[in-house]
A and B are shown apart, each in its own frame.
Chain A
Amino acid sequence: MKTYHDIAGDGGSDVIGQVVAKKSQIAESLAEVRHLVAVGSGKGGVGKSTLTMQLAEAFRGDGARVAILDADLNGPSQARMAGLRGAPIVPGAKGLVPPKTASGIGVVSMGALFPESQAVDFDSVSSGDSYVWRATREFSAFGDLLAGVGWGPLDYLLIDLPPGAERTFQYAEFLGAAAAFVLVTIPSDVSRGVVSRAVAAMRRTPNRILGYVENMSGYYCADCNEVRPLFTGEAGVDLGLPRLGAVPFDPELAAACDRGAPFSDESRPAVQAVRTVAAEITKLLEVRG
């Protein structure tokens, strides 16, 4: 009697063929993207999205062509930070035209499509068991965004990942080896411990981890014009990765993110620190193409 592998094709829907076709569409859509950089952490609330936007501004400030894809479908924040909530949706020759910030950064985020008062609600024909299929659905929608946007020629496509150590690993598998990763932590062992798990999970992938950024590394007091400590104590967890830089918390930057306003005041230590991180990332990416 024949076995599964003796029979070509599938039961008639060609599910595998459709999945492979989607992967080809994604590859085609990203063909002109020079560097695909995913910004993740494992830990939530460490400032991944803010850092992603600030990195994009730093790259853009150097004249690079940059876009951001907000992969956090459930808690998207890039549209708000970019000031692009409710941005018009225009079909271009090669897919959706990414709306752009005033400085020219393309931003694709679910937050631009649906109001913040609305929960991201995936359709379901079966109720009460979303834990079974939801992750698959999310990756399918993420793939639709990668494939259905006309990214065009870009120097950097930054992907703002949702939190979760295992999630970070799953995105690495989905994006493939071409995606380089930057991990974000804050200066606490609670955070470093979780990020360390993400690093351990990522070791199972061929993806390159460029290093980590220590975010909220002190806070900037504009009155004293100095960076003061925010977290105390020595690091007890070694991530075993190069530190790309340390970025202090700046209340003005946080307020600008809330307003969707750009924040590129070169005199602020946070902006200077992000520029250092961006330069380090560029250097690392250029070393190995």
Chain B
Amino acid sequence: MKFLCVLCDQAMKLVEMAPPDRGALSIVYECPECAHRIAMLTNPLETQVVSSLGVQIGPGQGDISKCPFSGMVQEMTGGVAAGDAPAKPAVVWTEAALQRLQRIPDFVRPMARTGIEKYAQDQGLSEIDERVLDHAKDHFGM
């Protein structure tokens, strides 16, 4: 979907997106020439149809999650949503280990995080780096 300022015959640019409200999005566009602004307001079904593609809408997603199963994931992990880091981590992840975590599908991330942290704690470790992940892989016979 694109927006055109008819007066200037110019493509309008996305400038702002309000936080989602009950599934509805408010996305503001501006004409780069005359600075006229319009807002596209989506209804929940329209939001759902586009987000079902697994894409990010607008410059930031707010709470429109890319994870298709965040409800189920929260149930499985006792309230940790997809992509969430626990408020008080018992163990620390290195940047490289976190990058590995980011490469796996959104909906398995919280379960992977929980499982690996438990493994690390069982091993008496306070930091999770790539070596710990490799050891976990061997430990679980994968």
Q: Is the CB of A11 within 8 A of B14?
A: yes
Q: Does A287 contact B (CB under 8 A)?
A: no
Q: Which residue of chain A has the shortest Cβ distance to B136 in the bound complex?
A: A90
Q: Does B88 contact A (CB under 8 A)?
A: no
**B contact residues around A149 at 8 Å (CB):** 104-105
Interface residues on A, range: 35 or more
Q: Is the CB of A96 within 8 A of B108?
A: yes
Q: Is the CB of B68 within 8 A of A7?
A: no
Q: Does A223 contact B (CB under 8 A)?
A: no
Q: Is the CB of A95 within 8 A of B103?
A: yes
Q: Is the CB of B104 within 8 A of A91?
A: yes
Whether A133 touches B49, Cβ cut-off 8 Å, given contacts A11-B40, A89-B108, A98-B142, is yes
Q: Does B92 contact A (CB under 8 A)?
A: no
Q: Which of A113-143 contact B (CB under 8 A)?
A: 113-114, 118, 120-127, 129, 132-134, 136-137, 140-141, 143
Q: Which of A157-199 contact B (CB under 8 A)?
A: none
Q: Is the CB of A144 within 8 A of B48?
A: no
User: Whole-angstrom distance from the CB of A29 to the nearest CB of chain B?
Assistant: 10
Whether A121 touches B72, Cβ cut-off 8 Å, given contacts A15-B53, A92-B137, is yes
Q: Is the CB of B112 within 8 A of A89?
A: yes
Q: Is the CB of A141 within 8 A of B107?
A: yes
User: Whole-angstrom distance from the CB of A104 to the nearest CB of chain B?
Assistant: 10
Q: Is the CB of B45 within 8 A of A144?
A: no
Q: Is the CB of B103 within 8 A of A94?
A: yes
Q: Does A88 contact B (CB under 8 A)?
A: yes
**B contact residues around A13 at 8 Å (CB):** 14, 55-58
User: Whole-angstrom distance from the CB of A147 to the nearest CB of chain B?
Assistant: 8
Whether A129 touches B45, Cβ cut-off 8 Å, given contacts A94-B103, A121-B71, is yes
**A contact residues around B133 at 8 Å (CB):** 90-92
Q: Is the CB of A123 within 8 A of B69?
A: yes
Q: Is the CB of A148 within 8 A of B72?
A: no
User: Whole-angstrom distance from the CB of B78 to the nearest CB of chain A?
Assistant: 14
Q: Does A10 contact B (CB under 8 A)?
A: yes
User: Whole-angstrom distance from the CB of A43 to the nearest CB of chain B?
Assistant: 27
Q: Does A97 contact B (CB under 8 A)?
A: yes
Q: Does B87 contact A (CB under 8 A)?
A: no
**A contact residues around B4 at 8 Å (CB):** 1-2, 7
In whole angstroms, how far apart are the Cα atoms of A137 and B49 in the complex? Answer: 8
Q: Does B111 contact A (CB under 8 A)?
A: yes
Q: Is the CB of B1 within 8 A of A10?
A: yes
**A contact residues around B9 at 8 Å (CB):** 1-2
Q: Which of B94-110 contact A (CB under 8 A)?
A: 97, 100-101, 103-108
User: Whole-angstrom distance from the CB of A12 to the nearest CB of chain B?
Assistant: 3
Q: CB < 8 Å: which of A9, A96, A120 contacts B72?
A: A120
Q: Which of B58-78 contact A (CB under 8 A)?
A: 58-59, 64-65, 67-72, 75-76
Q: Which residue of chain B has the shortest Cβ distance to A102 in the bound complex?
A: B141
**B contact residues around A98 at 8 Å (CB):** 142
User: Whole-angstrom distance from the CB of B93 to the nearest CB of chain A?
Assistant: 10
**A contact residues around B49 at 8 Å (CB):** 132-133, 136
Q: Is the CB of A126 within 8 A of B45?
A: yes
User: Whole-angstrom distance from the CB of B85 to the nearest CB of chain A?
Assistant: 14
In whole angstroms, how far apart are the Cα atoms of A144 and B58 in the complex? Answer: 20
Q: Is the CB of A132 within 8 A of B71?
A: no
Sample 16 A-B pairs with CB under 8 A, ordered by A number.
A11-B2, A11-B12, A13-B14, A18-B53, A89-B111, A91-B116, A97-B142, A99-B140, A114-B72, A118-B72, A125-B22, A126-B43, A132-B48, A133-B48, A133-B49, A141-B54
The 8 closest A-B pairs by CB, nearest first: A12-B14, A125-B23, A140-B54, A126-B44, A148-B105, A144-B105, A136-B52, A89-B112
A residues bordering B, Cβ < 8 Å?
1-2, 4, 7-13, 15, 18-19, 22, 87-100, 113-114, 118, 120-127, 129, 132-134, 136-137, 140-141, 143-145, 147-149
Sample of 17 more A-B contacts, CB < 8 Å, known A90-B115, A96-B103, A125-B20: A1-B4, A12-B58, A13-B57, A15-B55, A87-B140, A88-B140, A88-B142, A89-B115, A91-B100, A95-B103, A100-B142, A120-B69, A123-B69, A132-B49, A137-B52, A144-B106, A148-B105
